[in-house]
Structures are given as C-alpha cells and as structure tokens.
Structure 1
Amino acid sequence: MLTVRAMTEVDVPAVSAIRVTGWQAAYAGILPQSYLDEMTVEADVQQRRRHFERSREGTTNLVAVDARGRVVGWACFGRFRGNGTSTAMGELYALYVQPSLIGSGIGRMLLEAVHSHAHADDFGLMLLWVLTDNTRARHFYERAGYIADGAVQADDYDGVSVSEVRYRRAL
C-alpha cells in the first residue's frame, strides 16, 4: 500500500537518491553523460537540505511511501516561476520515482496528490517543463491531461544546450 505525505527533513537522503538515480536513468542519452556521471547522492543531499530549508514557505514537497515506510517517489510544486504571471498559476518543479518502480502507478499517485494540494492552494492552472527529448515523461503528462502550450526554453548542461517544452493543465 502506498501513501503520499508531506516530506520531512528525515526524507532528504531518500529523495536525493531517487532524484540522482532518476536523472541518470531518465536522461541518459538526452543530457551529456559527463554531467550525469558527476551527479552524486551526497552532493544532492547537501543541496536538497538547503533547498528544503529555504522552501518551507511557498513550496510543497510530497513523498510517496511504500508499505514498509520507504520513500519511493517525490514531487515538488509551488507558484509558477515565470514573469508577470497570475498567482493562480502553479508549477510542478519536480516529480521522480525510484527508477525500478517506474510504471507501477507511483508517479500517477504523486501527480494526483499534487493536483489536490495545488487546488487547495487556489491554483487553477498547473504548468511544468519537460526535456523535449524525454518522450516517456511527455507521454506520462499527456495521459494526465497536460498539453504542450508552445513555450520552449533551453538549459546548458556541460556546454550542451538542451531544450524543454512547457505543458499546462487546468485543475
């Protein structure tokens, strides 16, 4: 049985492990391998702790926990970070599932919890960014009712520009 609850400081190492292995699994062949190889759980734990402390207000972190109490997924959302946007627009900043459990419904359960919390926070619209070449994630969000809205951006990873597309969904 899976449950979704608010993330706590104790969850940071498990979330970091999921995030790093999630990046390395999902983005292999999309991001430079040198960038993925440099990622470590230890470095991410330090970064995640700082982020968790700074984001207590305005950001919601949720974890999916299995029947044995292990964190198996993580999602993070808050106000959309774009310029001049309405306060009713939320953004899914991250959603990761332990790679060996992808396809088991954990991601869908986390996303539904995000939508529920976001609606309670008076967000009427959720936005998110997905790497253009991450077809698995794009299909996941499309099945959940998200549509690409035409916005694109690019980020640099070890000197390689990687494009992202924005998706949106009304709540």
Structure 2
Amino acid sequence: MSGLLLRPMTAGDCEGVATMRIRGWQHAYRGLVPQPHLDGLDIGADAERHRARLLANDGSVVNLVAEAEGGELAGWAAFGPYRDGEVRTGDAELYALYLPPERIGRGVGRTLLTEAVHRCATAGHRSMYLWVLRDNTRARRFYERAGFGADGAEEPFEVDGVAMPEVRYVKELAG
C-alpha cells in the first residue's frame, strides 16, 4: 500500500494506539459487547497500559504501527510468541490488530497482517495463531481471506457478565 510506513511503535505512539484500539472496540464490538463497557473505555488509562508494556517488553513482542502520509497513525499490530499458559510452543500469535474505523477496507489491516506473518515466518515460527470473538463475523472473514482458519479451539471470554466466546484461528507458516 503506497504512502504507508510500517515502523516500530514508540512510547510517543501510545496515545494514538490507545485511541485506535478503543475506537476499534467501540466500532467492531457494538452489539457484541455491553454498551456501558464500550462507553466506559478510557483512552488515557489504555495509553498508560501500552506505555508500561512497551517499556517492560523484553523484545519478544513486536509492536508495529502503520503511519500514513503526514504522520497519522493508520493501524497497529502486536505479535510474538504464542501464549499457551506458561508453555512456549515455538509458534507465534497475533495479539492485536486495530485500525481507526475510517481506515477499514483500505488495505492497512492487510498490510500489517502480511508483515506480521512474514516476520513470524522469517523468525522460524511454524504456525501463527490468533483469537477472535466468535460472533465477530467481519473480523473472521478478514482472517479467513488471509489464509487463517478456525481450528476448533474455543475459550470463554466475558465482559460485564456477558459471555462472548473467542475462537482460535491458525495459519501454517513457511519459513
């Protein structure tokens, strides 16, 4: 995608990433997550969590931002080792992929996902996993078009007492 720079996230990006993530939740999860929860999401608190994680990162988690012409943040992806409790499997996981709602469908998400998959394959990971809300059909279609498929695993996820199961997707990587 022309005019888009993928680069490592910096502490200065945390506010923009938090804004993207929260606006992304409010857009993608409307009707799936209780509205009072979505309305109560706090950009400042989320930015502080991102800043703390970024500063504590041992290098195993990659945070990439997509920067549009003019320096505007157009997307964010985070990925690293697959989290299966305390067990490290040698596989990778996409932890997060968020865009401002107005950027959806413009290729930014595909660009970030392609780069994440490429980096994980180059690092020697055999597979890449991700978790997505079972009822988030738009996201599920996006990942399926990118070659990911549900593998049958499901995890409980709850927000404000409402169950919203997540399903696991996987893509085999060629190193």
State the TM-score, normalizing by the size of structure 2: 0.93
Q: CA deviation at 1:3?
A: 1.6
Correspondent of 2:147 among 145, 148, 156: 145
Mapping for residues 44-55 of structure 1, pairs under 5 Å = 44-55=46-57
What is residue 164 of structure 1 aligned with on the other side? 166
Post-superposition Cα deviations, 1:68-118, rounded to whole Å, max 9, x if no partner, equal: 11111000001010144522x000000001111100000000001101211
**Structure 2 residues without counterparts, runs of 5 or longer:** none
Q: Distance in 1 between matches of 2:58 and 2:42?
A: 24
Q: Spell out structure 1 runs of 4+ moving beyond 6 A.
A: none
Q: Which residue of 1 aligns with 2:29?
A: 27
How many residue pairs are counted as aligned between the two chains?
170
TM-score, with structure 1 as normaliser: 0.96
Counterpart for residue 132 of structure 2:
130
TM-fit CA distance, 1:57: 2.0
Identity of aligned residues (%): 44
Match of 2:104 in 1: 102
Structure 2 CA distance for aligned equivalents of residues 56 and 4 of structure 1: 21
- For residues 124-157 of structure 1, give each alpha carbon's deviation from its aligned partner in whole angstroms, at most 9, with x where no partner exists: 2100000001000000000000010000001120
Amino acid at match of 2:32: I
| Structure 1 stretches lacking a partner, 5+ long | none
- In structure 1, the residue corresponding to 2:150 is in which secondary structure? strand
**Match of 1:86?**
89
Shift of 1:120: 2.4
Give 1:52 deviation, angstroms: 1.3
